[in-house]
């Protein structure tokens, strides 16, 4: 697995993102709305955040199997093990 895969994932998680594997084994992701709508961010921080989110989105499209493996390695099972969520708490 490329180092860039885990780096992109970790940067996304550091922004308040989460990567998830649903009960059907599909990869999905989300981002805390507070990050998206934060008024405290400078234009530069907002731009950097947007780049990280775009990179994470492309990562989930281009290398889903690698990201699913990372989520399974580093994530936490919830809902009786049906969901696996990896987030930076």
Give the pLDDT score at 2. 62
Ramachandran class of 80: left when φ > 0, alpha when ψ lies in -120 to 50, beta otherwise: left
Q: What is the pLDDT of residues 6-60, one digit of tens each?
A: 999 999 999 889 999 999 999 999 988 777 777 777 888 888 888 999 999 999 9
Helix or strand (DSSP H, E) at 29: strand 27-31
Average pLDDT of the residues in 66-84: 92
pTM summary value = 0.84
Give the pLDDT score at 17. 92
Give the pLDDT score at 33. 77
């Amino acid at each position: 697995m490329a180092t860039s895969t885990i780096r992109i994932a970790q940067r996304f998680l550091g922004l308040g993102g989460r990567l998830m594997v649903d009960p059907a084994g599909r990869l999905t992701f989300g981002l805390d709305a507070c990050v998206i709508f934060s008024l405290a961010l400078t234009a530069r921080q907002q731009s950097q955040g947007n780049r990280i989110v775009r990179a994470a989105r492309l990562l989930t499209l281009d290398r889903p199997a690698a990201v699913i493996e990372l989520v399974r390695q580093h994530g936490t099972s919830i809902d009786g093990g049906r969901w696996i969520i990896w987030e930076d708490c």
